[in-house]
Amino acid sequence: MKKAIVFVDANNWYHNLKHWFTPSEVDICKVSKLISKEKNLEVIEIRWYASVPDIEDNKLKYLRHMDFLNSLKKRGVKIITRKLQRLSMKELRKKRQDLLDSWDLCKVCKPIVEKSFLDVVDVNQKEKGIDVWIAVDMLKEAIEKGADCFILISGDADFVPAFNLIKSIGKDVLSSSVPRGYSNELRQKFSYFVLGRDKLNKCLRDENE
């Protein structure tokens, strides 16, 4: 059985899921277990990538968010966070470059990542660095042979370049998302698993959790 790591783009997951459920009601561990069972994979790790609101903007919202992240930690989910910020194009590109420079990438990996993820297309977007972080982590694990398959819980087409690179070195990729906001490009080019309402109803958190 192939070993898999689950990478959750929490922002994308939240905004697409909220049209059906209160996102915190859905157990990401159960979702991962469902996908692994359907695809005959062994999930060895779940990583949750999220932006964190500023406590000064809304203390209650911040505390609720941190409480939710702590509940995931207790279940063995690895949490990776970045603070929300709004940057100009120049600042945004520098932030991305500094972020990439901070990772200990090999000579093979670094130019590939730079080519694919330093492009800045929207000055006004909120840049969290989350998509870059996930993409780089997936590539690092693929190169370092950390797993056989990389499961992305997101419907964002921005991950297509990363998936292409991972496939090019002989590893498997799989995306999974609710139908709303699920990129056609992701589904046309790579293996995918649609999380319909019926499937998610089986993945709700237990009341005592």
- Which domains, from first to last, does the chain contain? 2-85+139-203 (3.40.50.1010)
Compute the mean pLDDT over every residue in the chain, rounded to the nearest whole number. Answer: 84
pLDDT score, position 33: 96
pTM of the full structure: 0.78
C-beta neighbour count of 152 within 10 angstroms = 27
Q: What is the pLDDT of residues 111-155, one digit of tens each?
A: 766 665 555 444 344 445 788 889 989 999 999 888 999 999 999
Which positions of the chain have pLDDT values less than 50? 120-127
Residues 76 and 131: their CA atoms lie apart, in Å, by: 22
The pLDDT of residue 24 is 85
d(CA 70, CA 62): 12
